[in-house]
Chain A
């Protein structure tokens, strides 16, 4: 993350993250409460309104991978009996805990006072917190999020969520902190979320430009960082996104493409939509395989796992609990296969993409299932070329650079052929 982008927004983000980990390290001494929760469907604003500090285990895992520590952590977890097939996020997290729980900035991460399981679409999450409950001997509060199996959020689903937040989550937080639920404070946070969300959507939509000023996948994971984690609902996030928006707008005005870890990208040759999370152990190498070929990702679904904002949803301060419910149920991970197909197809069109590429990760049984079907369906609907690669999140053993590179290059050349009119369709 260090020198991916030298622009001020990047430095600001680094500062924000550093400050957050400092606060975490000092939490026990200061008597602050710490809650572990997951990215999809996180109730960060609610946590902030109680003045507790959130920790996101997946984020720790991916950051460990970027710092090349995940291999050791995974081995540690396998040594205590977790099999090779367990999601590597889980193993990385457990291994990190067993190895002293040192965060990405080198400071210790305090143990949780509460585990808030606010997303249940992936069964692994349940099991993961069950394990953490054992490890830390601390309470769990569960918010059961109904899956959008029929592709919509019904009023009864919403009521069900609101009821749980009111009668399970809030009392648990009140008990933990000794404070009463403060709805005004929550509204303030939600208003700040709304403002930041507007700017973030503007940034992600900027990829409609040619050349795209951003990479909406590799660069995108940095842009969503503050929004999907501890900063949504803070003034810092509002400032960050305002700053980022300005930078991106300036790049558009100058006709510039994205900035990669190796500097500004060369001419844009391919515009891709990507489904699936990135690989973190070889993040830069992986990105370079695209950027060197002139491939830019103009839209990705991974940047929607912590909230889908580009179809109009914003946190609404006027309906605090209802809006939290909508947010949780609206995350990408909580959407049905047809909804995912719909979303990808709409991205292909909106962002004038040349291709749709799936990065299927070995770890994730929940979301890798069905990806090939999704791919075929999007190909059929949009007529753009589909590609498929396989890696893993944080287990380097499942990243074969030569193999992945080979597939990416073949895929891009396939797009090139298609475009250059050498194919049957075009010739006919």
Chain B
């Protein structure tokens, strides 16, 4: 089976989408963007490939199993696979930690440090190796950065216990902090193909022999499907350095337009608010961009701005929206400039304004800026699709709905749960199209 991949190298995350020959989405992958673009692209692609395998497995199973059985089995299998991958990563972590312990900085306590770090990692392995239902299914979408989150919290908990006057907590953590970055930057040797049968074995005891035999047969059939790389198209913030030839790179604006069209075929206007930039795009009936505007060199009013505000208020980024939704009286905020916002924020706080009202004002300010870009790109036509990280923020969506209503009247507002993948999806569609064109030529 030929597959087509789109990769969107964003400022914070790198996304990959894989399509099959019919243009249906097979898999998605996401990872942290890193300084090494090649690696981020490779990891996101590998993730998408793994998730594509699960989709294919689902298709195979559907020929023999009912939906309820599928729902019981597939997520579990996915967890087991992920657990296997984590075990692999922990072994890499062990090796790299040992290397880090050789640094002259820790020469004084080397032996003891080495021993304790290894012990901690062994405990992590032991915890992970225990088969059973792991409560990680909700974190599925977070992909490889999940390993870091989980490993850090467990490691630091264990390091606290292991620390004493001789080897301090900071010593133990400094090894981990250095090592984890390198671990993240190491590609796993084994993926779906190598690990899936083991994962199935891990699950074995939960199903009877005949069921398991059917599952195994489905897995075998899935493995027999060859995924032939039909091409890769790259896009996104880091696209200049995407590890692809120039012909394989498409503008993120075109990709967002086409991706949004695929998600919602009646889309005519797209707003994308990402970490670093905001784009207002008009597309025609087949998803081709006819006009666009984006913010100028200043990232004011983009996702970053919210991150900055969250830091200023000592809140998590994901908390901002829900808090702002509680507001009853939106405070008027004049600046979306990150430099001035801090001062304005403190002003409002010290004059006794409520946090939720200020936050509601900040969200409105961001959307106001986006509204001006939208107006300059040609207005908001029906239907209107909102993409990018900020589309997951309920307060931003609420402000957008209000302002669209006030300025343009009734418009259908689409937000896909997979909106973060819009750019990568567009790139994958371009990839498939290019292959079609090549075939036609």
Q: Taking beta carbons and an 8 Å cutoff, which residues of A are in contact with B?
A: 372, 376, 379, 385-386, 388, 390, 398-400, 402-403, 405-407, 409-410, 413-414, 417-418, 422-425, 427
Q: A82 CA to B164 CA in the complex, in Å?
A: 61
Pick from A372, A376, A398, A423: contact of B288, CB below 8 A.
Answer: A423
> Could you say which residues of chain B place their CB within 8 Å of the CB of A414?
251, 253-254, 288-290, 292
Pick from B285, B290, B297: contact of A399, CB below 8 A.
Answer: B297
Q: Is residue B294 contacting chain A, with contact meaning CB distance below 8 A?
A: yes
> Could you say which residues of chain B place their CB within 8 Å of the CB of A385?
290-291
> Could you say which residues of chain B place their CB within 8 Å of the CB of A379?
291
Q: A409 CA to B246 CA in the complex, in Å?
A: 11
Closest Cβ–Cβ distance, residue B299 to chain A (whole Å): 10
> Could you say which residues of chain A place their CB within 8 Å of the CB of B289?
410, 414, 417
Closest Cβ–Cβ distance, residue A319 to chain B (whole Å): 45
Contact B376 A372 (CB under 8 A): yes
Contact A400 B297 (CB under 8 A): yes
> Could you say which residues of chain A place their CB within 8 Å of the CB of B284?
423-425
Contact B291 A406 (CB under 8 A): no
Q: A27 CA to B437 CA in the complex, in Å?
A: 67
In residues 273-294 of chain B, which contact A (Cβ within 8 Å)?
A: 277, 284-286, 288-294
Contact A388 B253 (CB under 8 A): no
Contact B251 A427 (CB under 8 A): no
Q: Is residue B296 contacting chain A, with contact meaning CB distance below 8 A?
A: yes
Using known A-B contacts A413-B250, A413-B254, A414-B254, determine if residue A407 contacts B294 with beta carbons closer than 8 Å: yes
Q: A398 CA to B297 CA in the complex, in Å?
A: 7
> Could you say which residues of chain B place their CB within 8 Å of the CB of A427?
286
Q: A306 CA to B15 CA in the complex, in Å?
A: 50
Give the size category of B's interface with A: 20 to 34
Q: Taking beta carbons and an 8 Å cutoff, which residues of B are in contact with A?
A: 240, 250-254, 277, 284-286, 288-297, 376, 378, 433
> Could you say which residues of chain A place their CB within 8 Å of the CB of B290?
385, 414, 418, 423
> Could you say which residues of chain B place their CB within 8 Å of the CB of A390?
296-297
Nearest-CB residue, chain B, relative to A409? B251
13 more A-B residue pairs beyond the given contacts A388-B293, A403-B296, with a C-beta to C-beta distance below 8 A: A376-B378, A398-B297, A403-B277, A406-B251, A406-B252, A409-B251, A410-B253, A410-B289, A414-B253, A414-B254, A423-B286, A423-B290, A424-B284
Using known A-B contacts A390-B296, A400-B296, determine if residue A424 contacts B288 with beta carbons closer than 8 Å: yes
Q: A373 CA to B296 CA in the complex, in Å?
A: 19
Contact A403 B286 (CB under 8 A): no
Nearest-CB residue, chain B, relative to A416? B254
Using known A-B contacts A372-B376, A424-B288, determine if residue A410 contacts B297 with beta carbons closer than 8 Å: no
Using known A-B contacts A372-B376, A423-B286, A424-B288, determine if residue A417 contacts B296 with beta carbons closer than 8 Å: no
Contact A403 B251 (CB under 8 A): no
Contact B288 A417 (CB under 8 A): yes
> Could you say which residues of chain A place their CB within 8 Å of the CB of B294?
403, 406-407
Q: A386 CA to B376 CA in the complex, in Å?
A: 12
Closest Cβ–Cβ distance, residue A408 to chain B (whole Å): 9
Closest Cβ–Cβ distance, residue B363 to chain A (whole Å): 24
Closest Cβ–Cβ distance, residue A377 to chain B (whole Å): 13
13 interchain pairs (CB within 8 A)?
Answer: A372-B376, A376-B378, A388-B376, A398-B297, A399-B297, A400-B296, A403-B277, A403-B295, A403-B296, A406-B251, A417-B289, A423-B290, A424-B284
Nearest-CB residue, chain A, relative to B292? A410
